[in-house]
Amino acid sequence: MYTIGKLSKNTGVTVRTLDYYDEIDLIKPSSKTSGGHRLYNEDDLMRLERVLALKYMGFTLEQIKDILKNSTSTWQQSIQQQLEMVKREQERLKMLEQALLGVSYSIEFEGEINWPIIFSIIQLYQQDPGDVLQQYEDYLNSEEMEKIMDMNPQQMSEEDIKGWMRVISDIKNNLEIDPSSVKAQQLVERWLSQVKNMFGDDEELLGDMWEALQNLKDGIAFYPMDKDVIHFIERVFMAKEELK
């Protein structure tokens, strides 16, 4: 038999917690001494170990009381439900991680806290991914949209993302230079290299994406690309054609 003090010492559960478990009828002592001190037997200890295991799995005390009353099959159902809840939470945290990365990169790119962009990025991760590119359905088919949506910060190295941000930032800082100049040509070559690094050499996909970019609509779908950057790239492509 275990006194409450000994049970606390053996399990690491505080006396205060054991008092509370007794109060809510989760773990009751099997007997008491003549002086009224609580005594716990091996079955009580085993029940406490189950409670601790279920708490570790994320169940609430009410759920634990329910599980302990029911059969093994209900245990299995409860654990399956908890697994599904954990998976949903993992997805939520992954989404939150991506949103935070997006906000962090936007602050680095903008050089300041741009609240409209930050708000748009957060909204982006709260939407159904299929809705984000739906406005470009005239230019991109469903497979292409899926491939673009699959590209996220988790699938790229930090250096890749920073390289993408740097080249667009460099273009934004040189929008007024001669599109036929060597510097302008080099900037666009760097941009194109980053695009191929992210999406591969699928010419059809790249062509359809370029058409979608040329018809860029308001929104955050292709951030940090904007109309000024796209018009610069267009002018450089045209100048390159004229030089041939």
Hey, how many other C-beta atoms are within 10 angstroms of the C-beta on 98?
Answer: 16
> pLDDT digit string (tens) for 180-204?
999 999 999 999 998 888 778 888 8
Q: What are phi and psi of 3, to 5 degrees?
A: -75, 165
Torsion angle of C-alpha atoms 108, 110, 115, 119, degrees rounded to 10: -70
pLDDT of residue 230: 92
Torsion of CA 37, 42, 43, 48, to 10 degrees: 80
Q: Which of 120, 140, 122, 121 is nearest to 130 (CA)?
A: 140
Task: Specify the higher pLDDT residue, 225 or 129.
Answer: 225
Mean pLDDT on 65-91: 80
Domains and CATH numbers, the chain: 2-69 (1.10.1660.10), 127-243 (no CATH)
Q: What percent of the chain stands above pLDDT 70?
A: 89
pLDDT at 153 over 60: no
Q: Residue range 196-219: average pLDDT?
A: 83
What is the per-residue pLDDT across 36-46, written as a single tens digit (0 to 9) for each? 889 999 999 98
pTM of the entire predicted model: 0.56
Residue 156: pLDDT over 70:
no
Examine the pLDDT at 152 and tell me if it is beyond 60.
no
- What's the pLDDT tens digit per position in 163-174? 888 899 999 999
Residue 16 confidence (pLDDT) above 90 = yes
Q: Choose the weakest-confidence range: 80-94, 115-129, 166-180.
A: 115-129
Predicted pLDDT of residue 146: 77
- pLDDT for the residue 8: 92
Tokens 């190295």 sit on residue: 157
State the pLDDT confidence band at 151, using cuts at 50, 70 and 90: low
Q: Is the pLDDT of residue 212 over 90?
A: no
User: How much is the pLDDT for 170?
Assistant: 93
Residue scoring higher pLDDT (155 or 106): 106
Pick from 116-120, 153-157, 220-224: least confident: 153-157
- Per-residue model confidence (pLDDT) at position 213: 86
Rounded to whole angstroms, how far apart are CA atoms 49 and 52?
5
